[in-house]
Amino acid sequence: MLSGLDHLVITVTDISRAVDFYSRVLGLDVRYRDRERVDLMLGDMALRLHWTATDIEPRAATPTPGSLDLCLRSQLPLDEVHRHLQALSVDVELGPVKRQGATGELESLYLRDPDGNLLEISRPLR
């Protein structure tokens, strides 16, 4: 019945700060839908940013900044990703460490976005 994920909504306290982080630090392309909704393109899907105070309906029952735990796949080796993050003064909380992903074993780095969401950047181990 289902075939994939189209978009995932991330509730943020400051759209411009989140756009800066996800575009500058993680390299995602930005598409502005309107003042309160921004899409960060990730392949054929989007991470959609919604501002905390938005009145967009329908939405989650309790949209809360900092409640997301998201694993993103990297095409680059994690040592390159780590160097990139260090050059931008982005703290890596953990990693590289081995983890189990949806399709097999991963090597992962963990960091946080400006709202405190936990981001795992991973690369399959083969």
**Residues designated as active site:** 120
Structure tokens at 12: 């943020």
Cα-based distances in Å from 107 to 16, 43, 103, 124: 30, 20, 13, 6
Distance CA 63, CA 5 (A): 19
